Amino acid sequence: MRKAMWSLLVLTALLTSGCVTTGGASQSAVLRAKARVAPALVHIRPVKEVFSRGRREEVQIVGSGFIISADGYVVTNEHVAGQSKFVRCVLYNREVVDAEVVGTDPYTDLAVLKLTTDADDLPFCRLGRSDNLEAGQTVLAMGSPHGLARSVSLGIVSVTDRYLEDRGDQMVSPFNTWIQTDAAINPGNSGGPLVNLKGEVIGVNARMLSGAQNVGFAIPIDIAKEVIDEIIAEGRVTRSWIGETLQSMRAKTDDPTQKGVVVADVDPLSSGYEAGLRAGDVMLSVNGIPTNARFEEGLPAVRKLIADIPVGAEIPVRVLRGNEEIELKVTTAERSALKGSQAELPQWGFTAVNLTPAVARRAQLSSTNGILVTGSQMGGIAYNAGLKKGDIILRVDDIEIENLAHFDRVYGALVRSKKPRVLLDVKHGALTRFVLVKQNGNLEENAAQSASSDEGDGHAE
């Protein structure tokens, strides 16, 4: 009892003197790490395009970032700076500087900005490594939670390779696992640095677990470095694709000795399908490199292996089909954008986006021709015609629509011609139907008529 009391007194003395903090890290080490990174913190206030209920709006949000070079390159999240018309940054010394978006990568949720300044001596962060992280290491999450700039939270690395499941139709960073931490990451922290006690950035804060306390996730800096370098050099990230959708080996067998990764699906429009790759195959190697994913945590590495192959390269893909090993020759194609470009069509009162291969495949289309309706304004011309979110417009008056730019030209000509009626060929799910658009009257008049009618909100989203 006396020994326990003595230990408690010693621990209390250490804590009150500032010698010990979470994870056994000294307060002085925490302060040194914070001091090395804090001058390079950036509070980001982008003005983003937001498309909602058939309208395009500009809204200001808040996020975080950090300077990585003396001439003003800044790293943040794609969901912070992507689709931004204007970005304003507040530096640690409260100086306000505008920035341009150099490039974004939705697949890893990363973006690079460039401060519009002539300064070449800005304070910047030192980037560390994430491949040698261990659970239990003390880390700092820095940024602007809830818009509160220059904030620091302390915690530990909970897991070094957390795999996050896909959310419906959206892949959650398919090419990397995540650093999980209990250092508080809240809305506004996105894009800020996760820092070790050496004052090195070892991750980019990106998301939190909704409904849980202190369960946050950061993008490993080793992955981020590759993306950052390519964006600065090329303005974008190029990846290869062979049409594969992969699952871990546990989906196919309980045998722990079985190597490979399961091919769950193959896009019928892809080069992999053309070369003979089929759902149910067990992929054993790609370009001579073994592909093993016993558990879900192994899937990002296999996807990245394929993505890193030069676009247009012919590669051997070895698969196990039944009891037979087969070698296929596959020519890689460029992976399409994760998000299609979106636009507002104000005269008809709706918004639309380019089709991605994933959307075309779900709709069982043979190509990505057409556009996807993302919303229609209540009372507008499109709304009154019955056009609704999720519709795919394939034809306009017998003109096959290639993409959003093509539709915009056709639609613009129709608006100028004031043609009274326009017939659309529309697909929604498994059903195809015709939609008759009546161009008589403008959007405001249609909205007024809708407001005075008793027909109800048949197309409310």
CA 380/CA 461 separation, integer angstroms: 14
Active-site pick, 79, 173, 248, 267: 79
CA 150/CA 139 separation, integer angstroms: 16
Which two tokens mark 371? 């556009």
Q: Are 67 and 124 in contact (CB under 8 A)?
A: yes
Name 180's Cβ contacts closer than 8 Å, sequence gap at least 6: 157, 158, 159, 160, 162, 215, 216, 217
CA 84/CA 76 separation, integer angstroms: 13
Q: Is 84 a catalytic residue?
A: no
The DSSP letter of residue 44 is E
Q: Is 190 a catalytic residue?
A: yes
Active-site pick, 109, 182, 391, 425: 109
The DSSP letter of residue 337 is P
Pair type for strands 126-127 and 200-208: parallel
Give the burial class of 417: count Cβ atoms within 10 A of its Cβ; 0-12 exposed, 13-18 middle, 19 or more buried: exposed
CA 275/CA 100 separation, integer angstroms: 42
CA 248/CA 240 separation, integer angstroms: 21
Q: Is 109 a catalytic residue?
A: yes
C-alpha Rg value of the chain to the nearest Å: 26
Active-site pick, 64, 144, 153, 190: 190
Which two tokens mark 212? 């849980």
Residue positions annotated with a catalytic role: 79, 109, 190
